[in-house]
Amino acid sequence: MPKILVAIKILPFLYKLLLFLWHKFHNGKNVKFWYSTHIPYRCQFEGMNHVGKYSSFLGKMGYGSSIGWNSSVSADVGRFTSIGPRCDYINSSHPYKKPFATTCPLFYSLVKGRNPQNFSFTDKQLIEEFRYFDKDRELVNDIGNDCWIGSDVTLIGGVKIGDGAVVLAHALVSKDVPPYAIVGGVPAKIIGYRYDEETIAFLLEHKWWNNDIEWFKNHWELLCDIDKLKAYFNEKG
């Protein structure tokens, strides 16, 4: 086999190995991950994080948050958020209503790699094809603190998941999810809230997740009884 072909085959392996070792050195104390996990070098982890096997992640991850196996997440993720296995996002779109008569990108797209052999009948880009929450950083979504996203959930590009929200398994989320809402279905709809309005307002005001780690070590029991948590913050004023 020619040396050039050997080099072409080896280079991707070397790149992935070096990236894996770089993260082990820089983030090994903050995040648990595997060789099959894809994490670009610019990702940041606050600590006690986990990204499962065969998953990919791009963004910042707050303390105590995790992603299950075989998931793709492009978002800043807040603290104490759990994302299940096989979650994904969709940030590309096709026109399917008037004025367009076709959904084929050969007639409206100039994006490289979008069309066969980079060919297009049009000489200008006719639609915004990709949806981002943060276009400058190429982050597709934004996920808050204390969220629970079940398995096999798909997030449409640009969607924000509010603090405390719960997304039920197999949901397709096409709109922003309010704080502490419980959503499910295809497309996802609000089916309830975790707490009453007064309690939600209290939690959003005090943002317990912003405390330092020592506070959690000394007051972890408060997070297992919301009435005690309320009493604690009310006593502090």
User: What single letter denotes the amino acid at residue 155?
Assistant: L
What is the number of other CB atoms lying within 10 angstroms of the CB of residue 211? Answer: 13
Handedness of CA 123, 96, 138, 68 (dihedral sign): negative
Handedness of CA 181, 179, 71, 52 (dihedral sign): negative
Instruction: Say which residues have a Cβ less than 8 Å from residue 115's Cβ, sequence separation at least 6.
Output: 105, 106, 109
Instruction: Retrieve residue 12's tokens.
Output: 């991707």
Decide: 112 and 92 in contact? Cβ < 8 Å.
Answer: no
By the 10 Å C-beta count (0-12 exposed, 13-18 middle, 19+ buried), 75 is classed as: buried
Q: Is residue 94 annotated as part of the catalytic site, yes or no?
A: yes
Q: Which residue among the candidates 26, 38, 94, 170 is catalytic per the annotation?
A: 94
Instruction: Say which residues have a Cβ less than 8 Å from residue 76's Cβ, sequence separation at least 6.
Output: 59, 60, 61, 134, 139, 142, 143
- Positions marked active-site: 94
